[in-house]
Amino acid sequence: MENTYITDHLQKRFTHDILETDTAGDILTVIVTSPVIHDVISFLKDNENMNFTFLTDLCGIHYPDRGLPLGVVYHLHNLTENKRIRIKTFVTLNDPEVPTATDLFSAANWMERETFDFYGINFTGHPNLKRILNVEYMDFFSMRKEYPLEPTREDKDDRYFGR
C-alpha cells in the first residue's frame, strides 16, 4: 500500500479537513482538523481498503509557539500490509476538546486518560476521563511547556545531563 493511495482516499473523503500530509519521513503523517479526527480514524479502521485496525499509540504534544499549541498524535497500523500511519490534530489551550476514540479502540481508554492527565486535553465522550498517574487535586498539567527550565546551577556538570 503506497502513501499516495492513502492520501488520495483521505483527500477524496475529507477534502477541506486534511490540513497537511508529509511523506518525507518513515511514516506517512496526516494532520487533520479536530472536529473530524474521529471520522478520519474510523474511516482508516473500517474501510476495507485501508484496514488500519490496530492503535499502536496515542499521545499528547505541546508546541507553545504555534497558533494551535496542543495536539494529539495517533499511530495506527495495518497489520496485513505492515503499514503504519501517523494522524495528528491540534487544538487551542482555551478549548482543548478532541472526540474520544474509545468507541473505536478500547486501548485508547488509558492512553486518552494519560494524555488528559499530562496535557489537559479533554476527550469528549470518554467513559471515565480522570487522572490516571497524577493526584486528582493537581491543578496543572505537568507536560505542558508553561514553566521556564531550571537555571543552570554551578554545582551541576551539564555534560552528565544531556546539555
Domains of the chain, earliest start first: 3-145 (3.30.460.80)
How do strand 70-78 and strand 83-91 relate by DSSP bridges?
A: antiparallel
**Beta strand 83-91 with 28-32: parallel, antiparallel or unpaired?**
parallel
pLDDT, position 43: 97
- What are the cell numbers at 152? 543552570
Specify the pLDDT at position 161: 59
pLDDT value at residue 29: 97
d(CA 78, CA 52): 4
Could you say which residues of the chain have pLDDT below 50?
163
pLDDT tens digits, one per residue of 5-49? 999 999 999 999 999 999 887 899 999 999 999 999 999 999 999
Residue 158 is predicted with a pLDDT of 61
**Cα gap 96→117, rounded to integer Å:** 13
Cell of 43: 474511516
Picking from 73, 89, 70, the residue whose alpha carbon sits closest to that of residue 31 is 89
